[in-house]
Amino acid sequence: MISTSTPAVEVHLTAAELDASLARDVAEGLGRRPRQLPPKWLYDEVGSRLFDDITRLPEYYPTRAERAILAAHSGEIAEVSGAATLVELGSGTSEKTRLLLDALDRAGTLECFVGFDVAEATLRDALAELRERYPRVRLGGVVGDFERHLEHLPRLPRRMVAFLGGTIGNLERAPRRNFLETLAAQLEVGDWLLLGTDLVKDVDRLVAAYDDAAGVTAAFERNVLAVVNRNLEADFDLSCFEYVARWDEVQRHVAMGLRSRGAQRVRIGRLGLTLDLDDGEEIATETSAKFTTEQVAAELTEAGFALVRTWLDPAGDFAVHLAARLEL
């Protein structure tokens, strides 16, 4: 699977499986109240482009903060971990990960890189670019869903799994615990987890990061309805939904969704499903949990990891944690 020539990619999530998964999630999530759609369906080609725009918005601090941490501390991360293999979950274009690859390369330990993503085309393009930059590094990829296919992580020397961008915040408490425990079960003593988490802070700043003045996030969230329209023959009118984002103090997350402007009927042809939405009824699209460093340490320990180092950006907005797999 791992090659120094053309990177090999293992596909564990085909287009047909993705299509069936979307149909199942829409039928289950929209066929009940409260209605919801999983956030993974936000990231089609249009959604991915909009999210890339979001990361450059003045209100959206997480990407800049995490990049600052990696730029300042990637050498220390490489030194402490001594990792020979870097595995990136949700790798996308692997842009930020190049800071880690460069640091591991300078340290003389880097042997392999494995990208793990649901989008096969994006993964193959990223690996092709990395092939040019790191000709001596063995490269490979896994197309899969990190909530379903972690057992396909390759068994390679001294692995460090990077799960960056605060993406773990999209998982609520029970799924998050299951994800961390499943990941720990796939790793060996001597392997590492590098985890990016957004931190609790001023509520106005938190909400603004997910409800920008230019309306880019609103377009991003509404686009999930276009995904359903295109793939499942639905007739959502995107103009009939307004975007909402609010802070939930109890759950300590930003909750995002789409609110119906007036009562409306929506048909989803491929599912034979008709939705009658009340005026003001919402469809939940995602949550983004915020953490304290103490909470992260506790959740990692509970899952079978030992927190070794935590780095914060200068403003204290975001954290990157390095944790070692414990011997059970």
The answer to whether 283 touches 37, Cβ cutoff 8 Å, is yes
Amino acid 178: pLDDT:
96
**SS3 of the chain: helix, strand, coil, percent, to 5:** 40, 30, 30
**Residue 306: strand pairing partners:** 324
What are the backbone dihedrals phi and psi of residue 104, each rounded to the nearest 5 degrees, phi first? -65, -35
CB under 8 Å to 174, separation ≥6 — which residues?
A: none
Residue 94 has pLDDT above 80, yes or no: no
pLDDT band (50, 70, 90) for residue 1: low
Instruction: Choose between 92 and 54: higher pLDDT.
Output: 54
Q: Cis before residue 34, ω within 30 degrees of 0?
A: yes
Domains in the chain with CATH codes: 1-233+292-328 (3.40.50.150)
> Using one digit for the tens of pLDDT, what is the confidence trace for 218-244?
999 999 999 999 999 999 999 999 999
**What pTM, to 2 d.p., does this model score?**
0.93
Q: Are 69 and 318 in contact (CB under 8 A)?
A: yes
Indicate the average pLDDT of the chain. 94
> Taking 80 as the threshold, does the pLDDT of residue 7 lie above it?
no
